Amino acid sequence: MSSAARRLELPRHEVVALHDGDFALDGGAMFGVVPRVVWERLTPVNPDHTIPLATNPFLFRDGGHRVLVEPGIGRRWSDKERAMFHVDHSGGRDVVESLAAAGVAADEVTHVLMTHGHWDHVGAVCDEEGRPRFPKAEHWIPEVELEAALDPGHLRRASYRREDLQPLVDAGLLKTFRGEHEVLPGLRMVEVGGHSDGVSLVLLEDGGETACFWADVVPTRNHVHLPFIMAYDQNAAKSFAVRREWITRAADEGWWNLLYHDPVAPIGRFVRDAKGRFAFAPLEGAEASA
Ligand SMILES: [Zn+2]
């Protein structure tokens, strides 16, 4: 039986969807202005009105590099927070265990790319004691995202935790950029904003193919339709403009799309449905998802 694939072969790179913890957020907040009668047909809903979400870090591997895109939600949570957000690391849902299952040790990771500073994206970059978990890697984050994470007065302070990133700063492992940064030939981080001030896309160009990691610009396969913008987004008008520009490009140019929060199908194409709206076509694979 075919199921949604978690692995993609490009000419020079292997792209693997890893696992960190599963969690859940309020369904209404995840779909913004979309009425519940519409979104509840798309996803299971928990009794507390949250919906199940994954954190899928991605591994980009070529002959010489092991790039980790978005470390994960991590394990530094109180029992109360774990219960509130349904944080679940069972079944190998831990970024380091998941990397090991793909044949990569934590100290073999060469680059860690973080699209923005929200806790569900960077919480796994340090361990419970605050030690960096990828000690040999160059870590990159947009400069305005580091500033937001270190500023307790930020408007969206509930989305950032200073302790997620301070240890990396102290260890001299964290580098920042503004606008756009070429990490390696063919691998770029492009700051777009909207969801947060500096949220970035990660673009991998390889042998005429493009793979794009969408962070929270398109968090799940149910967020490809343009008006489906999360209530968490700092600037919804900007998110709409960013999404219209980049989703259109991804669909027109046949990109592979890598989705961080999708619990079912993390890799696929953006296509247009019969009404001309954008939709998601998952990459199918023979293997059951690990
Ligand atoms: Zn997120």
Domain boundaries, the chain: 3-285
HSE-up of residue 232 (Cα within 13 Å, Cβ side): 21
pLDDT on residue 285: 84
List, in order, residues 6 or more apart from 70 with CB less than 8 Å away.
55, 56, 57, 58, 113, 114, 115, 121, 122, 213, 215, 260
Identify the pLDDT of residue 289.
Answer: 44
Q: Which residues contact 182 (CB under 8 A, 6 or more apart)?
A: 188
Query: CB–CB of 44/53 below 8 Å?
Result: no
Q: Cα of 131 to ligand 1 centre, how many Å?
A: 22
Average pLDDT, the chain: 95
Strands 66-69 and 111-113: parallel
CA 24 to centroid of ligand 1, rounded, Å: 11
Give me ligand 1 centre to Cα 122, in Å: 9
User: What is the distance between the alpha carbons of residues 194 and 115, in angstroms, rounded to a whole number?
Assistant: 12
pLDDT for 2: 62
Q: How far is the CA of 210 from the centre of ligand 1 (A)?
A: 22
Q: Identify the pLDDT of residue 286.
A: 60
d(CA 262, CA 230): 14
The answer to whether 102 and 146 have CB atoms below 8 angstroms apart is no
Could you tell me the pLDDT band of residue 154, with boundaries at 50, 70 and 90? confident
User: Cα of 1 to ligand 1 centre, how many Å?
Assistant: 31
pTM: 0.96
Distance, in Å, from the CA atom of 250 to the CA atom of 272, rounded to the nearest integer, reads 11
d(CA 75, CA 96): 11
Q: Which residue has the higher pLDDT, 220 or 156?
A: 220
- How are beta strands 200-206 and 209-213 bridged, if at all? antiparallel
The residue ranking higher by pLDDT, 8 or 287, is 8
Q: Which fold, 3-285? A: Metallo-beta-lactamase; Chain A (3.60.15)
Q: Which residues pair with 175 in a beta bridge?
A: 140
